[in-house]
């Protein structure tokens, strides 16, 4: 039995803890945001390449573009800032048996310099005879083992007039080959044949060339990843394909249904190559705006990789390269955007994909609303990332069809102390340096700017209490709850 003095003091303790508990509940629910890892975002980005050992000719017919190792490495150096940045850029290749001797030299040179890994498909129209060399390239060769993380079935069989059975036989042989590698060091994952979405009906019977509803069960058993080529006709957050949440959401849903919820990779994409109206196609202003929104939305939707088509132009047919002809050319504006996403962030930590992220207390006012009811991926958006050294990266964007416009006054308020926050417009298309030029830098608790239809990045240097690995408020809340429960029980 407690005396009255102790009983009163205990009651005050309980009341105090209840108030603290309520305050923490309010903060967690209202403002505390747990960050994503920046490496989880940027290590998913890649580029399509056409391997060659010559800087003047190309076995794939991509000349005059120079896909020799030195040219590709120079482009990687520009886009990522080099090995000190720590973040990865990956590569997607095509394969025929006749290209094996080139790729056995090309892959290790590019990998040794960049650290990037490869997804390699059977080239368009390939048959079962091309499979053994691809299996060997991925796992048996002393030159390339471990460099290839995905093996893919035939490239775009729904766009190539070959018998469906030819594609299915090649996939079955590829599946058997990969199954036989179980237990070997760093075996590749197996992706299904890539499907160009322009030809995929909503019902999933993808075309007479490839897979009908009758043999979906067979193909679904012969791969781990679904494989998509996506060339949107509009900005990917805008309602399309019957989905208010946009193109990426629509096809993620479709492919999940067709391919039994397999994880998905986008092995070719470009933001504007086939965009409509035609004046948007390959337009530097739209490329600069739509590129970071595609990357962010692809990550948030759940796509595991997304490879830009292509690193350089393919001959004079596809002028969609991040560089026109080589890594020594003047980069296109979209390349400066990608560069900003790498070099303004970065993570050289060995635990970049495993560290426990911290949280940041902030709120944003003035975000534009969605363009229409239910289109929740449009209008004002924001997403928080962090690297293993503790810096936060807050993306804020306004998803519209057209870039620019008048915009709204947006304010980010930091409810915990920060050392500094610097604002960039990474979708800036006005000058090459625009995406990496700071617009303002503050050490106070709030930052305001006009949020027009662009993508902004705020680089935040936190105090140590918000750094990576610090105890999130949700954990403190759990501890306090247990303490409060024990006191109440004691009382």
User: 15 or 414: which carries more pLDDT confidence?
Assistant: 414
Question: Per mean pLDDT, which of 255-259, 280-284, 478-482 is the most reliable?
Answer: 280-284
When mean pLDDT is compared across 77-91, 140-154, 338-352, 433-447, the lowest value belongs to 140-154
- Which residues make Cβ contacts (< 8 Å) with residue 159, sequence separation at least 6? 124, 196, 199, 209
User: 156 or 314: which carries more pLDDT confidence?
Assistant: 314
Which pLDDT value is given to residue 146? 80
Q: Is residue 397 pLDDT above 60, yes or no? A: yes
SS3 call for 11: helix
When mean pLDDT is compared across 200-214, 227-241, 372-386, the lowest value belongs to 200-214
Give the model's confidence band at 160: pLDDT under 50 very low, under 70 low, under 90 confident, else very high.
confident
Give the model's confidence band at 288: pLDDT under 50 very low, under 70 low, under 90 confident, else very high.
very high
Give the model's confidence band at 25: pLDDT under 50 very low, under 70 low, under 90 confident, else very high.
very low
Which pLDDT value is given to residue 186? 75
Complete domains list, the chain, with CATH: 41-471 (3.20.20.80)
Q: Is residue 19 pLDDT above 80, yes or no? A: no
Give the model's confidence band at 274: pLDDT under 50 very low, under 70 low, under 90 confident, else very high.
very high
Residue 315: how many other CB atoms lie within 10 Å: 15
**Mind listing the pLDDT tens digit for each residue in 93-105?**
999 999 999 999 9
* 135, two tokens: 């299996």
- What integer best gives the mean pLDDT of the chain? 87
Give the mean pLDDT of 305-334.
98
Q: Where are the alpha helices (DSSP H) in 196-307?
A: 216-220, 247-258, 284-301
> Concatenated DSSP letters for 347-358?
---TTTTTSPP-
Give the mean pLDDT of 391-411.
97
When mean pLDDT is compared across 128-142, 176-190, 350-364, 408-422, the lowest value belongs to 176-190
The alpha carbon dihedral of 338, 339, 340, 341 has a sign of: positive
**Mind listing the pLDDT tens digit for each residue in 416-441?**
899 999 999 999 999 999 999 999 99
* 259, two tokens: 């391919």
Give the model's confidence band at 392: pLDDT under 50 very low, under 70 low, under 90 confident, else very high.
very high
**Mind listing the pLDDT tens digit for each residue in 445-474?**
999 999 999 999 999 999 875 555 544 444
User: Taking the model in full, what pTM does it have?
Assistant: 0.89
When mean pLDDT is compared across 176-190, 293-307, 341-355, the lowest value belongs to 176-190
The per-type count for the chain, helices as H runs and strands as E runs, is 11, 19
Which pLDDT value is given to residue 179? 86
Which pLDDT value is given to residue 11? 57
Are 488 and 480 in contact, with CB atoms under 8 Å apart?
A: no
Strand-strand pairing, 379-386 and 45-48: unpaired
Give the model's confidence band at 3: pLDDT under 50 very low, under 70 low, under 90 confident, else very high.
low
**Mind listing the pLDDT tens digit for each residue in 27-61?**
444 469 999 999 999 999 999 999 999 999 999 99
User: 485 or 171: which carries more pLDDT confidence?
Assistant: 171
When mean pLDDT is compared across 2-11, 146-155, 414-423, the lowest value belongs to 2-11
How far apart CA 350 and CA 348 sit, in angstroms, is 7
CA of 457: how far to CAs of 240, 345, 403, in Å?
27, 10, 16
Q: Is residue 26 pLDDT above 70, yes or no? A: no
User: 78 or 17: which carries more pLDDT confidence?
Assistant: 78
Give the model's confidence band at 486: pLDDT under 50 very low, under 70 low, under 90 confident, else very high.
low
User: 179 or 419: which carries more pLDDT confidence?
Assistant: 419
How far apart CA 455 and CA 460 sit, in angstroms, is 16
When mean pLDDT is compared across 150-164, 201-215, 375-389, the lowest value belongs to 201-215
Residues in a beta bridge with 441: 422
Q: Which phi and psi (to 5°) does residue 412 adopt?
A: -100, 125
How far apart CA 50 and CA 93 sit, in angstroms, is 6
Give the model's confidence band at 216: pLDDT under 50 very low, under 70 low, under 90 confident, else very high.
confident
CA of 378: how far to CAs of 80, 381, 409, 427, in Å?
28, 7, 17, 16
Which pLDDT value is given to residue 15? 53
Are 226 and 264 in contact, with CB atoms under 8 Å apart?
A: yes
């Amino acid at each position: 039995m407690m005396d009255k003095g102790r009983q009163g003091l205990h009651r005050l303790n309980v009341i105090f803890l209840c108030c603290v508990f309520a305050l923490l509940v309010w903060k967690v629910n209202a403002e505390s945001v747990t960050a994503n890892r920046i490496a989880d975002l940027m290590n998913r980005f890649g580029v399509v390449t056409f391997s060659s050992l010559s800087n003047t000719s190309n076995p794939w017919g991509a000349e005059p573009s120079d896909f020799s190792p030195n040219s590709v490495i120079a482009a990687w150096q520009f886009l990522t800032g080099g090995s000190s940045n720590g973040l990865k850029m990956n590569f997607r290749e095509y394969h025929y048996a006749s290209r094996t001797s080139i790729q056995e030299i090309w892959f290790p040179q590019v990998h040794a310099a960049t650290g990037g890994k490869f997804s390699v498909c059977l080239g368009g129209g390939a048959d079962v005879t091309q499979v053994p060399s691809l299996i060997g390239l991925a796992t048996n060769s002393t030159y390339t083992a471990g460099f290839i993380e995905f093996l893919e079935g035939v490239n775009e069989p729904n766009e190539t007039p070959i018998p469906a059975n030819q594609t299915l036989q090649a996939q079955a042989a590829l599946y058997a080959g990969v199954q036989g590698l179980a237990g070997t060091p760093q075996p590749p994952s197996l992706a299904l044949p890539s499907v160009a979405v322009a030809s995929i009906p909503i019902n999933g019977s993808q075309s007479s060339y490839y897979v009908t509803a009758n043999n979906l069960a067979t193909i679904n058993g012969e791969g781990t990843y679904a494989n998509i080529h996506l060339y949107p006709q509009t900005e990917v957050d805008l309602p399309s394909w019957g989905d208010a949440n946009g193109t990426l959401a629509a096809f993620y849903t479709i492919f999940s249904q067709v391919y039994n919820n397999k994880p998905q990779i986008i092995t070719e994409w470009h933001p504007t190559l086939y965009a409509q109206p035609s004046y948007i196609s390959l337009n530097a202003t739209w490329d600069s705006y739509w590129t970071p929104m595609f990357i962010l939305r692809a990550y948030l939707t759940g796509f595991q990789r997304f490879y830009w088509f292509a690193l350089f132009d393919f001959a004079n047919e596809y002028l969609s390269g991040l560089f026109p002809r080589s890594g020594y050319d003047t980069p296109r504006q979209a390349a400066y955007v990608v560069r900003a996403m790498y070099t303004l962030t970065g993570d050289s930590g060995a635990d970049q994909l495993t560290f426990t992220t911290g949280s940041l207390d902030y709120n944003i006012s003035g975000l534009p609303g969605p363009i229409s009811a239910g289109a929740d991926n449009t209008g004002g958006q924001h997403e928080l990332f962090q690297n293993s050294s503790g810096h936060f990266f807050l993306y804020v964007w306004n998803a519209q069809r057209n870039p620019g416009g008048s915009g709204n006054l947006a304010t980010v308020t930091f409810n915990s102390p920060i050392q500094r926050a610097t604002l960039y417009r990474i979708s800036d298309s006005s000058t090459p340096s625009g995406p990496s030029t700071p617009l303002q830098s503050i050490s106070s608790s709030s930052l305001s700017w006009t949020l027009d239809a662009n993508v902004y990045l705020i680089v935040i240097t936190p105090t140590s209490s918000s750094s990576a690995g610090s105890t999130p408020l949700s954990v403190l809340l759990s501890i306090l709850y247990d303490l409060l429960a024990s006191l109440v029980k004691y009382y």
